[in-house]
Amino acid sequence: MTRDGLAAVVRVRSVRELDSRIGLAHALSDQRAAEAAAEQMGAALASRGTPELTSAAAFVSQRHLLTGAATALLERERAAGVAAGVSAAARARWQDDRGALRAVELLAERRAEARRAELARREAAAADDIAAQRWARSQGAR
Protein backbone atom coordinates (compact mmCIF):
# COMPACT_ATOMS: atom_id res chain seq x y z
CA MET A 1 0.00 0.00 0.00
CA THR A 2 1.35 3.40 -0.90
CA ARG A 3 1.96 6.16 1.57
CA ASP A 4 -1.06 8.07 0.24
CA GLY A 5 -3.18 4.92 0.41
CA LEU A 6 -2.27 4.35 4.03
CA ALA A 7 -2.94 8.01 4.82
CA ALA A 8 -6.39 7.61 3.26
CA VAL A 9 -7.06 4.57 5.42
CA VAL A 10 -6.01 6.54 8.51
CA ARG A 11 -8.39 9.36 7.53
CA VAL A 12 -11.29 6.95 6.98
CA ARG A 13 -10.63 5.16 10.27
CA SER A 14 -10.36 8.50 12.04
CA VAL A 15 -13.73 9.62 10.70
CA ARG A 16 -15.29 6.29 11.70
CA GLU A 17 -13.88 6.57 15.21
CA LEU A 18 -15.17 10.14 15.53
CA ASP A 19 -18.60 9.10 14.27
CA SER A 20 -18.68 6.22 16.75
CA ARG A 21 -17.64 8.54 19.58
CA ILE A 22 -20.42 10.99 18.69
CA GLY A 23 -22.91 8.09 18.53
CA LEU A 24 -21.74 6.92 21.95
CA ALA A 25 -22.20 10.41 23.39
CA HIS A 26 -25.77 10.54 22.03
CA ALA A 27 -26.54 7.06 23.34
CA LEU A 28 -25.23 7.93 26.80
CA SER A 29 -27.26 11.13 26.81
CA ASP A 30 -30.41 9.22 25.85
CA GLN A 31 -29.68 6.64 28.54
CA ARG A 32 -29.28 9.31 31.22
CA ALA A 33 -32.54 10.96 30.13
CA ALA A 34 -34.42 7.64 30.19
CA GLU A 35 -33.03 6.74 33.61
CA ALA A 36 -33.89 10.19 34.98
CA ALA A 37 -37.45 9.90 33.65
CA ALA A 38 -37.84 6.48 35.29
CA GLU A 39 -36.44 7.77 38.59
CA GLN A 40 -38.76 10.79 38.55
CA MET A 41 -41.77 8.60 37.84
CA GLY A 42 -40.74 6.17 40.60
CA ALA A 43 -40.23 9.00 43.08
CA ALA A 44 -43.58 10.55 42.17
CA LEU A 45 -45.31 7.20 42.60
CA ALA A 46 -43.55 6.50 45.90
CA SER A 47 -44.34 9.95 47.29
CA ARG A 48 -48.07 9.58 46.79
CA GLY A 49 -49.75 9.40 50.12
CA THR A 50 -52.61 7.15 51.07
CA PRO A 51 -55.76 8.83 49.86
CA GLU A 52 -58.96 9.10 51.83
CA LEU A 53 -61.25 6.57 50.25
CA THR A 54 -64.84 7.26 51.10
CA SER A 55 -66.54 5.00 48.61
CA ALA A 56 -66.02 1.96 46.44
CA ALA A 57 -66.04 4.17 43.34
CA ALA A 58 -63.22 6.28 44.80
CA PHE A 59 -61.27 3.11 45.58
CA VAL A 60 -61.73 1.76 42.03
CA SER A 61 -60.77 5.14 40.56
CA GLN A 62 -57.67 5.36 42.75
CA ARG A 63 -56.70 1.79 41.90
CA HIS A 64 -57.12 2.47 38.20
CA LEU A 65 -54.96 5.61 38.52
CA LEU A 66 -52.20 3.75 40.39
CA THR A 67 -52.27 0.84 37.93
CA GLY A 68 -51.77 3.29 35.06
CA ALA A 69 -48.93 5.02 36.90
CA ALA A 70 -47.27 1.68 37.67
CA THR A 71 -47.59 0.65 34.01
CA ALA A 72 -46.03 3.96 32.92
CA LEU A 73 -43.20 3.42 35.41
CA LEU A 74 -42.53 -0.08 34.07
CA GLU A 75 -42.49 1.29 30.53
CA ARG A 76 -39.99 3.98 31.47
CA GLU A 77 -37.80 1.44 33.25
CA ARG A 78 -37.94 -0.77 30.16
CA ALA A 79 -36.98 2.21 28.00
CA ALA A 80 -34.04 2.91 30.34
CA GLY A 81 -32.94 -0.73 29.98
CA VAL A 82 -33.15 -0.52 26.20
CA ALA A 83 -31.16 2.74 26.27
CA ALA A 84 -28.52 1.02 28.42
CA GLY A 85 -28.27 -1.75 25.83
CA VAL A 86 -27.91 0.77 23.02
CA SER A 87 -25.20 2.56 25.00
CA ALA A 88 -23.33 -0.70 25.55
CA ALA A 89 -23.49 -1.48 21.82
CA ALA A 90 -22.34 2.05 20.96
CA ARG A 91 -19.44 1.76 23.42
CA ALA A 92 -18.39 -1.58 21.90
CA ARG A 93 -18.54 -0.13 18.38
CA TRP A 94 -16.49 2.90 19.42
CA GLN A 95 -13.88 0.68 21.08
CA ASP A 96 -13.65 -1.45 17.93
CA ASP A 97 -13.26 1.63 15.73
CA ARG A 98 -10.73 3.17 18.12
CA GLY A 99 -8.72 -0.06 18.08
CA ALA A 100 -8.79 -0.18 14.28
CA LEU A 101 -7.65 3.43 14.09
CA ARG A 102 -4.81 2.82 16.52
CA ALA A 103 -3.69 -0.23 14.56
CA VAL A 104 -3.56 1.70 11.28
CA GLU A 105 -1.84 4.66 12.94
CA LEU A 106 0.76 2.31 14.43
CA LEU A 107 1.32 0.74 11.02
CA ALA A 108 1.74 4.20 9.48
CA GLU A 109 4.23 5.15 12.20
CA ARG A 110 6.21 1.94 11.66
CA ARG A 111 6.33 2.51 7.93
CA ALA A 112 7.44 6.12 8.42
CA GLU A 113 10.17 4.94 10.79
CA ALA A 114 11.26 2.32 8.25
CA ARG A 115 11.41 5.01 5.56
CA ARG A 116 13.50 7.24 7.82
CA ALA A 117 15.84 4.35 8.65
CA GLU A 118 16.21 3.48 4.94
CA LEU A 119 16.95 7.12 4.11
CA ALA A 120 19.56 7.24 6.88
CA ARG A 121 21.18 4.02 5.52
CA ARG A 122 21.27 5.49 2.01
CA GLU A 123 22.77 8.74 3.28
CA ALA A 124 25.38 6.81 5.26
CA ALA A 125 26.22 4.68 2.21
CA ALA A 126 26.54 7.81 0.06
CA ALA A 127 28.78 9.44 2.69
CA ASP A 128 30.91 6.26 2.80
CA ASP A 129 31.22 6.28 -0.99
CA ILE A 130 32.29 9.92 -0.98
CA ALA A 131 34.83 9.25 1.79
CA ALA A 132 36.17 6.20 -0.07
CA GLN A 133 36.54 8.21 -3.29
CA ARG A 134 38.36 10.99 -1.45
CA TRP A 135 40.67 8.49 0.21
CA ALA A 136 41.35 6.77 -3.11
CA ARG A 137 42.17 10.13 -4.71
CA SER A 138 44.44 11.06 -1.87
CA GLN A 139 46.25 7.71 -2.14
CA GLY A 140 46.60 8.07 -5.90
CA ALA A 141 48.03 11.57 -5.60
CA ARG A 142 50.96 10.35 -3.51
- Rounded CA separation 116/122 (Å): 10
The rounded distance, in Å, linking the Cα atoms of 17 and 8 is 14
CA–CA dist 108, 60 (Å, integer): 71
Q: What is the pLDDT of residue 1?
A: 63
Digits of tens for pLDDT over the chain (142 positions)?
676 888 899 999 999 999 999 999 999 999 999 999 999 999 988 887 777 777 888 888 888 988 998 999 999 999 999 999 999 999 999 999 999 999 999 999 999 999 999 999 999 999 999 999 998 888 876 6
